[in-house]
A and B are shown apart, each in its own frame.
Chain A
Amino acid sequence: MENFGPANSYPPTSLPGSFAAVQGITVLRMASAGYATSSADDPADTAYSPRLYGDISVSQSAVDAFGIGGRVAMGIAEFEVANADSALNNLIAYGTADGRNAVIRVVPVTALQASNYGSSLGSATLAFRGVVQRVDGGAKQRARITITDMSERLATPLQVRKYAGTGGVEGDASLTGAPHPVALGDVFNVTPVFLGNVELGDGALPTYAVNYRAVTGISAVRMRGVEQASTGSAPTVGQYKPWLSSGMFQLGSSADGVVSCDVEAGAGDYSATTGGLIRSLIQDLGPQLADADIQIEAFELMDTDIPGAVGWYRGAEEITAAAAVDEILAGSGAVLCGGRAGTVRTFDPFAAGDAQFALASGTILDLEPVSKPPGISPLPHKVAVDWARNWTPLTDMAAVVTTDRRRLTSPASGPVRVTSPGITTRVLQQRELRLPGLFTAESGASDRAARIAAYFEASPRMFRVTTDRYLGRIEAGDLGAIAYPAYGLDAGVGVVVLAWEELLAGRRLVLTVSTVPWVTIPPLVTGGDGLDYFILDTDVVA
């Protein structure tokens, strides 16, 4: 309804087009050298002004998170652009670009004279898709732009559903503005949110919420550690009635101490694994990412790599999606980050699999050893992983509780410990790496501990490798194989990528890798000396 029409020609509730469309969004297009799209491109016949100074370095590092898990932020190191014409002043002053999408593409120069250098925009390589973190003014009439990855979108409150504090299931005034609780997977002894005495059909009874949505079970409710009996009818003293579809339960009497419960909540449409819980956190909650916003296959791989069931709970306290994800990642040593294509992805740095890249000496510009991060140096001789976390360690337990007293007072069961005999023998300083596992079963924790211990037992080394191959393709967590005539790498080793930095115009890719013992391809060849060789370089094999 951009124009006025005859009376009654439009329904009275019609909105002008300007109300429905996003207004005032300008796409800034800039390039290291002037570029113009072709008439067949989208957008067609559009100029990219030459504003960039120097090269763009795209980088990502999971080195600090290695072994302990966590989120990895990708930073494009503050590339500078010309601002002598003040074109970016509003972006600097008002932050109008902050948080907006940014795409970096690379086009090969095949025809220097052509305005598109012989490469259409459609054929450009996507180097990175992310969001603008900030635009700052700089010296010499320049501006600095920092772009980060899509995991920046996790910096948002996990739970948008808040209690109104108006009574009933909205809680009393003390809960006003507090988030609804979140339970994922099976969680043990959590503290439910007390809503007050609420009428749900059996009279006004003490009512507790354990999840913002339906749960599949509330298998135990305790009052100062004393288990209450479940009932399907109106509860009386010593009983509770679960309201599974509402994620609540009611007690038959007022509580005389700490109330806690065991909840089976599942993870919505996802599996109750590390990968599934993270998907629920970022797709059902927090930033509510769509399937297109995440790398689904990476999460599916996570289910294979870390299959153990886990659980996570948060009461009526605020937390960001990023902090929630960090808690789950820390429990297994997994890593979540943004991918080059602008999707959120995850990976297990201890995963086994096929080599996704191979670099032999002829393709390596430089290779040098680097120090291991402090978290794994000296190498731990034991890996310990907690399981069955107790979300409410009790300090005031009724005397009548005779069973499970230790489990109810301890923060978690376990831990499961796996000892490396080799490291115990070789390394004087005995260290233990302990992960605050969220596994519900001991088997999940023990599998994880064994996997990480196997990595340490193989005496990992770390290297920085510079190459001009695999540009625009390598992601953190990728497995590969490297052979180099130095540092004992003649025979080739399997590696996992922990960090990468790519210079887009410089055509250089710098990988920080750690050796791993479980890369399966390229195929192994056993040489006459009994050693295993990767078939990477004919000279090496010969």
Chain B
Amino acid sequence: MAAVGRAERIGRVLFFAHAGHWLVQLIYLVPLMVLVGVILVGRHRDKREAAHEQVRAERDE
């Protein structure tokens, strides 16, 4: 059992130690991540503007 546990640990270490090799293969995900970021920022901005509008409307009333 001890040997299996050690092998698992070594596997985990290798997984992260070789992150440079497999992370770069996910490079095509970068545009998608950027797009999701832009959408989230846009929605946050929309919400903030809507809240400002509401405050302004309430103040006018």
A and B associate in one complex: no
List chain A positions with a Cβ less than 8 A from chain B.
none
List chain B positions with a Cβ less than 8 A from chain A.
none
